[in-house]
Amino acid sequence: MGFASTCDEERQARLSLGEWAVDGKPSFFDEMTRDGGLARPPYQRLARWLETAPTELLASRRSQAELLFRRIGITFAVYGDKEATERLIPFDIVPRIISRSEWTKLEAGLVQRVKAINLFLADIYGARDILRAGILPADLVLRNPQFRPEMVGRRIPHGVYVHIAGIDIVRIGESDFYVLEDNARTPSGVSYMLENREVMMRLFSELFALHRVAPVENYADILLATLRSVAPRTSNADPVAVLLTPGIYNSAYYEHSFLADKLGIELVEGRDLFVRDDIVFMRTTEGPKRVDVIYRRIDDDFLDPLAFRPDSALGVPGLLSAYQEGNVTLANAVGTGVADDKAIYTYMPEIIRFYLGEEAILGNVPTYRCREPDTLKYVLAHLGELVVKEVNGSGGYGMLVGPHATRGQIEAFERKLNNDPANFIAQPTLALSTCPTSLESGIAPRHVDLRPFVLTGSQGVTVVPGGLTRVAMTEGSLVVNSSQGGGTKDTWVIDDLPAGSA
């Protein structure tokens, strides 16, 4: 059965997530300020700076930051209207601060989780021990739309399936961090993490001088080393990596171009590559050049028209055959989307326990599996209180935020749930923590989440300190996705302050 089925259990879930105060009013954890108005230790220096910073200075820095981002050209496409529109993602100039001790726990939990995800994927495409043990229903894996039968029994280079993971984290208390979802296919957003840091360093050198901030600028070097470390054993001593993009009309094309430039590798489209004798080559002015590693930003369905969708003009004919023969590494591997599934997410504590023999360091958000009849009844009866998501949804699309939904929207989701309950999960409305945010009206708290980026190569797992903080720019909103109006801010991991040094 899903997480909760009674009102008492639901109330306990909410209390455990810190959503409700004693009198029933929403109560959110503020990351900067304690009750009584005192700043928490990691924020003490920033709080003093904000208290003395003139309003005109903050307004000027906001304008400068927006100008810099416009010059850089960072935009993203928003879908759902009659046609896609390009927007500049909002940027908040007040950094989010995480202490080194807080980060150490997060890092350990992220490493543990990604290790378990890689073991899980290797198992379901191999021996399937976890299915035989009955830890999770076999049909949830084998009938999953992201499960790729083509990968069954295939050995992939160095046994790594998820080379780049984006694990979404929410905070609801002093030391309470939860994983909201796992992104194991083609996680995006790292370009914003890097550009946010660069803009902050240009505009706020005085703030950096007050803190010892862990660097994120070396992400590209770590990623390139990770990609090269998983090159096929048949590749040359200096393996060639490329970044495969769907092209300029993709919503994340800016990031693809940005990362290829930072990595110092070629940005290619499917037409730039071809397969001969199960070897992948890149067309160059000097003739064909072998490709050993492909950092692909194309979904499985479009990778190879001979193996998946025959109408795809984005992929490379014969690519899957070359991959199955072990002559090229795809990052991330084909079939990793199973680990993105939000129903499988509900089993992550059991998955970690099964493969690692450990309890999960980072907990899951309590989640209802609508595929289970008793749970479905409960969800249908409480839609106005819950957040409902498609199991393979992303970007904030196709979801219901019950407390902010209209009667018509709730009724529409009732029909969807009754028609296809296995396609949905539901969660309590989360009490996302708040961080100070610079607005035209002044400094005010806004809700945030965090996407750290976890890299796995042949030598192990690395977590870049910080990640992408997404912020709901609208007062009261809990939706942080950029596609739904959210913004971003720089994330600082700083050394813990010695007692009395603030």
Each residue's pLDDT tens digit, 142-197: 999 999 999 999 989 999 999 999 999 999 888 889 999 999 998 999 999 999 99
Q: What is the pLDDT of residues 208-224, one digit of tens each?
A: 999 999 999 999 999 99
Beta bridge partners, 213, equal 494
> pLDDT: is 81 or 278 the higher one?
278
**pLDDT band at 465; cut points 50, 70, 90:** very high
* Mean pLDDT, residues 344-368 taken together: 96
Is pLDDT of 452 > 80?
yes
* Mean pLDDT, residues 351-375 taken together: 95
Q: List, in sequence order, every beta strand (DSSP E) within 257-352.
A: 266-268, 273-276, 279-282, 289-290, 293-296, 329-331
**3-state SS class at 194:** helix
Is pLDDT of 25 > 90?
no
**Amino acid of residue 401:** V
Is pLDDT of 2 > 70?
no
> What's residue 72's pLDDT?
78
User: Is the overall model pTM greater than 0.85, yes or no?
Assistant: yes
Q: Is 11 domain-assigned? A: yes
> What's residue 17's pLDDT?
47
Cβ atoms within 10 Å of 287's Cβ, excluding its own: 7
Beta bridge partners, 471, equal 448, 487
> What's residue 21's pLDDT?
35
Q: In Å, how far from its chain's centre is CA 300?
A: 18
Q: Is 440 domain-assigned? A: yes
What's the domain count of the chain?
1
Q: Is 122 domain-assigned? A: yes
Q: What is the pLDDT of residues 298-307, one digit of tens each?
A: 999 999 999 9
Q: What is the pLDDT of residues 232-255, one digit of tens each?
A: 988 888 999 999 999 998 888 989
* Mean pLDDT, residues 46-73 taken together: 91
Q: Which residues are CB-contacts of 237 (< 8 A; sequence separation ≥ 6)?
A: none
Omega of the bond leading into 419 within 30 degrees of 0 (cis): no
Q: What is the pLDDT of residues 369-427, one digit of tens each?
A: 999 999 999 999 999 989 999 887 765 567 888 888 899 999 999 999 999 999 999 99
> What's residue 394's pLDDT?
63
The residue segments making up the domain with residue 95 are 7-151+161-213+342-494
* Mean pLDDT, residues 292-315 taken together: 96
**pLDDT band at 119; cut points 50, 70, 90:** very high
Segment among 90-94, 171-175, 311-315, 463-467 with least mean pLDDT: 171-175
Give me the chain's average pLDDT, please: 89
Reference 457, options 278, 289, 290, 331; nearest CA is 331
Alpha carbon distance 323, 332 (integer Å): 12
> What's residue 10's pLDDT?
40
**Which two structure tokens, joined as six digits, stand for 349?**
């504590």
32: left (phi over 0), alpha (psi -120 to 50) or beta: alpha
DSSP strand pairing (400-401 vs 442-451):
unpaired
Percent of the chain with pLDDT over 70: 89
**3-state SS class at 328:** coil
> What's residue 481's pLDDT?
76
> What's residue 16's pLDDT?
42
Is pLDDT of 67 > 80?
yes
Q: Is 432 domain-assigned? A: yes
Segment among 158-162, 319-323, 419-423, 484-488 with least mean pLDDT: 484-488
Q: Is 115 domain-assigned? A: yes
Q: Is 47 domain-assigned? A: yes
> What's residue 84's pLDDT?
52
Q: Is 259 domain-assigned? A: no
Is pLDDT of 475 > 90?
no
**3-state SS class at 111:** helix
> What's residue 392's pLDDT?
78
3-state secondary structure 339-400: HHCHHHHCCHHHHHHHHHCCCCCCEECCCEECCCHHHHHHHHHCHHHEEEEECCCCCCCCCE
Reference 172, options 365, 20, 28, 36; nearest CA is 28
Longest Cα separation, the chain? 72
Q: In Å, how far from its chain's centre is CA 413?
A: 25
Q: Is 418 domain-assigned? A: yes
